């Protein structure tokens, strides 16, 4: 990082190496750049897998599913069920005759959370999925899209957390992170998010 910054670098760092939230934080600290110019791949891949599984369950195109995984890119991540919409309708209103129960919802999330382990077991690595995620973030930067993507970003009071990088929706353009989208979470979602942030802070505190 020191060598890169000594070269006069003033661009944007896109961090993918795991643990991505911790290393994005370290990149921000060591580079001295504004946090808007240091982006972790965060939960962009987790959220894509989440949308895919929900689309499969409800038999709709995944482009018509809006759903997010927040928090750590890892075991403490959380699904934001309260903001899932399918074809513009809230999850529980889309197909009332086939409404998923709590057990089915948790099973869907576990498949998302543990997908990487299954992929690694079968083919040794997950490079295709993360490659697509990084390409999506890069496109948003290169084309100044102002796209909302769930990336790892520095929280400075959002979601009640400070001084931690974690997966949240953010507006991405040619300058990097334009702003964070502060969703209103349920009490249960907030508790899970806080727990995830506490785990990440524990890792960060071991370094700094």
Catalytic residues: 73
Q: Are strands 38-40 and 13-15 parallel, antiparallel or unpaired?
A: parallel
Task: Answer whether 14's CB lies under 8 Å from 28's CB.
Answer: no
Separation between Cα atoms, residue 97 and residue 49, nearest integer Å: 25
Separation between Cα atoms, residue 185 and residue 3, nearest integer Å: 41
How many other CB atoms sit within 10 Å of the CB of residue 182? Answer: 13
What burial class does residue 97 get, using C-beta atoms within 10 Å of its C-beta: 0-12 exposed, 13-18 middle, 19+ buried?
Answer: exposed
At 34 the three-state DSSP class reads coil
* DSSP-derived secondary structure letter, 179: E
Taking the CA atoms of 89, 92, 94 and 100 in sequence, report the sign of the dihedral they define.
Answer: positive
């Amino acid at each position: 990082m020191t060598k890169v910054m000594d070269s006069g670098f003033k661009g944007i760092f896109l961090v993918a190496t795991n643990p991505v939230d911790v290393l994005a934080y370290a990149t921000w600290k060591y580079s001295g750049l504004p946090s808007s110019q240091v982006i972790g791949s965060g939960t962009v891949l987790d959220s894509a897998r989440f949308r895919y599984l929900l689309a499969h369950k409800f038999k709709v195109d995944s482009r018509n599913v809006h759903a997010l995984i927040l928090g750590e890119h890892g075991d403490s991540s959380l699904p934001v069920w309260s903001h899932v919409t399918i074809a513009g309708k809230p999850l529980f209103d889309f197909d009332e005759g086939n409404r998923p129960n709590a057990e089915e919802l948790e099973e869907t999330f576990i498949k998302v959370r543990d997908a990487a382990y299954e992929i690694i077991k079968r083919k040794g690595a997950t490079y295709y999925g993360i490659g697509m995620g990084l390409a999506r973030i890069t496109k948003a930067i290169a084309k100044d899209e102002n796209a909302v993507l769930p990336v790892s970003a520095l929280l400075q009071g959002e979601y009640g957390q400070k001084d931690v990088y974690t997966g949240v929706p953010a507006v991405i353009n040619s300058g990097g992170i334009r702003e964070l989208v502060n969703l209103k979470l349920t009490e249960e979602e907030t508790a899970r998010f806080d727990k995830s942030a506490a785990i990440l802070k524990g890792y960060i505190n071991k370094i700094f």
